[in-house]
Amino acid sequence: MPAQRDPSARRRYRRAVLGGAPPPSGPGASPLRVLTGTVLDASPHVLVLATATGEARLPMTATTAVWHGGRGGAAALRPGRQALVRMDADGLAADRVWLDIGRVTGTLLSARPDTLEVDLGPHRGRARVALDPRSSQLVQVRHPRLEPGYLVDVLCVRSPAGPRAVGPATSQPGHRADALASPAPDAPVPPETRGTATWWGWPGAPQSTGMGDGTTFAAGPGGDPPGHAVAYPAVEGEDAAGGCGEAPPGCVPLPLLSIGGGLDVVNDCSGRGATLTVAECGCVAARFCDRCVECGTSPRGRIAELGPAAFAALGGDLDAGCFNVTVRWGAEGRAW
């Protein structure tokens, strides 16, 4: 019964039983417009993208920043490259463009001078990341322990041979993947939790709803992938709730949620927020007891892994890797 597993239906049911009213608006300021697509053509003033709904012509300005393995100019906007474009606050011109960007986060299985083999967690399989001498040096600056069993988090670009690392996404936690500073089992859950939000995956890839039947999120108003999905470290493992049985406790006391649950996420740096949908167990995020220093130093622990579109829409820079985040708990203003 897909309708029964619709997140909005669940919210309706929850309000019916526990009370509360629909929020007048989403958490925080509105997200920015984000588009994903393939570059068809580009000039210094216009970027033409092939999106899921058709061709989009996006004005570019002198301040539009382009990333392709590092800061690049308009020359990097070559046809065929996968682009994620974040519009400016007015939604009129492209503000940031990321080309062929991707991210590999997980536990190192093996490390050679030219290759990293990474376990992405039970839901995502494994990835082999190519390293060149320059990127290897860059990665090792913030990942001093490239040894099996340690965590790794690198930014990549697409290449015909697979993902190619271009630098570290965040600093490597000093602990092994299994050596977590977990909270006490009886640690209470505060009304809101602050920590780190990161992103995962590749822009343009379909996002599963995590509901076990292979369905993906419905297209957004414009037909593009909506990017609602979020991987959450404390997914209930009982029954068909989503299964997070392989996940460690994590290093933040988080309430248990099922797949399909809502998560009110606010970027502390930009003030932008949205209600995202838990679509996957954040088994990998649970292992990272690190901080984000995008705007001040966040408390330890990754609370959510967003899709790239959602991350950029909330004001995060994909090449920065993280932003400080606040997540409010409770059913629409009510405590649990």
Q: Which of 50, 74, 122, 205 binds other proteins (CB under 8 A)?
A: 122
Minimal distance, residue 125 CB to other proteins, in Å: 10
Please say which residue, 54 or 113, places its beta carbon nearer to other proteins: 54
d(CA 73, CA 71): 7
Is 148 a binder of other proteins (CB under 8 A)?
A: yes
Q: Which of 75, 188, 213, 214 binds other proteins (CB under 8 A)?
A: 188
Is 140 a binder of other proteins (CB under 8 A)?
A: no
Is 328 a binder of other proteins (CB under 8 A)?
A: no
Is 6 a binder of other proteins (CB under 8 A)?
A: yes
Is 179 a binder of other proteins (CB under 8 A)?
A: yes
What's the DSSP call for residue 239?
T
Site for other proteins in 224-253 (CB under 8 A): 224-228, 234, 236-241, 244-249, 253
Site for other proteins in 290-309 (CB under 8 A): 309
Please say which residue, 155 or 281, places its beta carbon nearer to other proteins: 281
Please say which residue, 69 or 308, places its beta carbon nearer to other proteins: 308
Q: Which of 62, 75, 161, 184 binds other proteins (CB under 8 A)?
A: 184
Interior/surface letters 76-115, b for 16+ CB within 10 angstroms, e for the rest: bbeeebbbbbbbbeeeebbbbbbbbbbbbbbbbeebeeee
Q: Which amino acid is at 73?
A: G
d(CA 202, CA 82): 9
Select from 318, 316, 217, 320 the least CA-distant residue to 273. Answer: 316
Q: In the block, which residue shows the tokens 């909270």?
A: 183
Q: Are strands 229-232 and 302-306 parallel, antiparallel or unpaired?
A: antiparallel
Q: Which of 29, 38, 53, 128 binds other proteins (CB under 8 A)?
A: 53
Q: Which of 28, 69, 121, 168 binds other proteins (CB under 8 A)?
A: 121
- Residues that bind other proteins (rule: CB under 8 A) add up to a total of 105
Is 12 a binder of other proteins (CB under 8 A)?
A: yes
Minimal distance, residue 123 CB to other proteins, in Å: 11
**CA 307, 34, 156, 172 torsion-angle sign:** negative
d(CA 36, CA 223): 11
Site for other proteins in 254-293 (CB under 8 A): 254-262, 274-276, 283, 287
Q: In the block, which residue shows the tokens 């003033």?
A: 45
Q: Which residues contact 133 (CB under 8 A, 6 or more apart)?
A: 113
d(CA 334, CA 21): 9
Q: Which of 80, 160, 185, 214 binds other proteins (CB under 8 A)?
A: 185
Please say which residue, 74 or 241, places its beta carbon nearer to other proteins: 241
d(CA 319, CA 336): 36
Task: Write the interaction track for other proteins spanning residues 16-35; mark x where CB under 8 A is met and - where it is not.
Answer: xxxx-xxxxxx---xx-xxx
Is 189 a binder of other proteins (CB under 8 A)?
A: yes
Interior/surface letters 297-324, b for 16+ CB within 10 angstroms, e for the rest: ebebbbbbbbbbbbbbbbbbbbbbbbbb
d(CA 296, CA 323): 10
Minimal distance, residue 19 CB to other proteins, in Å: 5
Q: Which amino acid is at 170?
A: T
Task: Write the interaction track for other proteins spanning residues 93-112; mark x where CB under 8 A is met and - where it is not.
Answer: -------------xxxx---
Span near other proteins by CB under 8 A; candidates 5-13, 61-69, 128-136, 166-174: 5-13
